[in-house]
Chains A and B, each alone.
Chain A
Amino acid sequence: MDLLRDILDKQVVDREQVKIGKVDGLVVELRPGKPPKIVAVELGSITLARRLGERPGRWMARLAARLGGKRHAEPHRIAWNKVRDIGVDIEFDIDVRETAILDWQDWLRDHVIGRIPGAG
Chain B
Amino acid sequence: MKKLLEISLGIVTSVGGFLEVGSMATAAQAGAAFRFQLIWAVVLGTICIIFLVEMAGRFAAVSHHTIADGIRERFGFNVFLWPLLATLLVNFLVMSAEIGGAAIALELATGIGFQWWALPVAFLAWLFLWKGTFGFIEKGVSILGLVTLCFVVGAVMLGPDWGQVAAGAVPTLPDHDAAKYWFMAVSILGASISPYLFMFYSSGAIEDQWDKSYLGTNRAIAGLGMSFGGTIAIGVLIVAALVLAAHGIDQVDDYHQLPLMLIPIFGFWGFVLFVASLGIACFGAALEVGLQQAYLVAQGFGWTWGEDQKPRDDPGFSTVYTVSLLLAAIPIALGLDPLRLTIFSMALTAASLPLSVVPFLFLLNDERYVGEHRNGMISNAAVIFIIALGFVLAVVTIPLQIFGGT
- Which A residues fall within an 8 A CB radius of B? 4, 8-12, 18-22, 24, 43, 48, 51-52, 88, 105-106, 108-109, 112-114, 116, 118-120
Contact = CB atoms under 8 A, between A and B. Distances in A.
23 contacts: A9-B73, A9-B80, A10-B73, A21-B302, A21-B303, A24-B77, A43-B302, A48-B77, A51-B76, A51-B78, A105-B303, A105-B315, A105-B316, A108-B315, A109-B312, A112-B315, A112-B319, A113-B311, A113-B318, A116-B311, A119-B310, A120-B310, A120-B311
Given A9-B72, A9-B73, A88-B64, A21 B315 contact: no
A18 B306 CA distance: 12
Given A21-B302, A22-B72, A120-B312, 6 more contacts: A22-B73, A43-B302, A109-B312, A109-B315, A113-B318, A118-B311
B302 A22 contact: yes
Interface string B309-333: 0111101101100000000000000
Nearest to A47: B77
B311 A11 contact: no
Contacts of B37: none
Nearest to A22: B302
B374 interface: no
A52 B319 contact: no
Among A4, A106, A113: residue with most chain B CB under 10 A = A113
B301 interface: yes
Interface string B43-86: 00000000000000000000111000100110011101100000
A88 B312 contact: no
Interface residues of B, number: 26
Contacts of B65: 88
A114 B314 CA distance: 11
B304 interface: yes
B214 interface: no
B130 A118 contact: yes
B305 interface: yes
Contacts of B69: 11
B301 A22 contact: yes
B63 A88 contact: yes
B3 interface: no
Contacts, number: 70
A108 B312 contact: no
Nearest to B316: A105
B256 interface: no
A48 B304 CA distance: 18
Contacts of B311: 113, 116, 118-120
B263 to A, nearest CB: 40
A51 B312 CA distance: 31
A6 to B, nearest CB: 8
A109 B317 CA distance: 11
B315 A9 contact: no
Contacts of A120: 310-313
Contacts of A10: 73
B315 A51 contact: no
Contacts of A18: 304
Closest 8 CB pairs of A and B: A120-B310, A22-B302, A21-B302, A108-B315, A109-B315, A119-B311, A113-B315, A19-B304
Nearest to A113: B315
B316 A9 contact: no
B76 A8 contact: yes
Among A4, A9, A105: residue with most chain B CB under 10 A = A9
A22 to B, nearest CB: 4
B302 A11 contact: yes
A101 to B, nearest CB: 10
Among A4, A24, A109: residue with most chain B CB under 10 A = A109
B72 to A, nearest CB: 5
B302 A114 contact: no
Contacts of B72: 9, 22
A113 B321 CA distance: 12
A19 B131 CA distance: 22
B316 A114 contact: no
Nearest to A6: B368
Contacts of B301: 21-22
A119 B304 contact: no
Among B72, B311, B319: residue with most chain A CB under 10 A = B311
Contacts of A108: 315-316, 319
A118 B303 CA distance: 21
A117 B81 CA distance: 34
